[in-house]
A and B are shown apart, each in its own frame.
Chain A
Amino acid sequence: MIAQNIAFTILAAVATLAAVRVVTTRNVVHAALYLVMVLASVGALYVLLVAEFVAAVQILIYIGAIVVLFLFGIMLTRATIGADAGLDNDQRWIAAVTGLFLLGVLTFVLVDAFGDDRLPSLENMSREALTAERGTGAVGDAIFSTYLVPFEVVSVLLLAALVGAIVLARRE
């Protein structure tokens, strides 16, 4: 339990600091690299929540594909490589106030609603039982039985996004 809490603390700290750097850094490429840090630590947090398949997908899709896509985007839009003072707009303070206000409200609501609720302890369960209960197999079963229709819809959505992206980005 202690080990988990230590792990959580480290990961949460890394994620938070990296996230703050993503939105404050003056270097676009650095922002993408900080984003990798956020995504990796959030992926590790998924493992703490016994969701190893989601963690794997997080690494594969987010870091493997999406961040690479971002880097391509940075490259293709010829952003300044290196420090660039003009990355923020003039409503930074409004945004900061909005964000902090939102954080305050959310914190209040969450503490009010969940207080000291603990996640159910999984210490006593065997690895096999845990895998059978919420492992990759269980997730696959759920996707391809109960959530088959949403799954198909999502695949169509991806196709539509693909077509849309090509149409948008293609040169005439």
Chain B
Amino acid sequence: MLVNQFLLLGAVLFCVGVYGVLARRNGVLVLMSIELILNAVNINLLALGSLQGPQAAVVGQVFALFVITIAAAEVGVGLAIVLLIYRNRHSVDLDEVDLMKG
């Protein structure tokens, strides 16, 4: 198998995720898109690890596991934030969250 099969799939997932992050209005959907991005990263880690031989393959797996752990943490905090926004504004519409407006 070509390594590029995996890397390109990763690139596709990444870009789809980026699109989702940028285009979705619902906070929960944005978080889902971020998961797509993180999965793309994991595919890359594993594929490039395998390419470099057995030791690197293990390292790639270890880092993929770290990424999954951090994704879990991120979703927990992210959903808490979305929930807080919902509680304060009765909407998870990110277009309305523009406190950073100068």
Contacts and interface: CB of A to CB of B under 8 A. Distances in A.
A28 B29 CA distance: 7
Contact of B14 (A1, A48, A70, A106): A106
Interface in A132-172: 133-134, 138-139, 142-143, 147, 150-151, 154, 157-158, 160-162, 164-166, 168-169, 171
Interface residues of A, number: 87
Nearest to A121: B1
15 contacts: A15-B13, A16-B9, A35-B35, A66-B75, A76-B83, A87-B25, A88-B25, A102-B15, A107-B8, A110-B4, A116-B4, A118-B1, A142-B61, A142-B62, A160-B73
Contacts of A134: 54, 57-58, 61
Contact of A4 (B1, B19, B59, B60): B1
Contacts of B43: 42, 45-46
Interface residues of B, number: 72
Contacts of B61: 51, 53-54, 134, 139, 142
Contacts of A88: 23-25
Interface string A87-121: 11101101110111011001100110011111110
A57 B83 CA distance: 27
B23 A117 contact: no
B2 A118 contact: yes
Contacts of A87: 24-26, 29
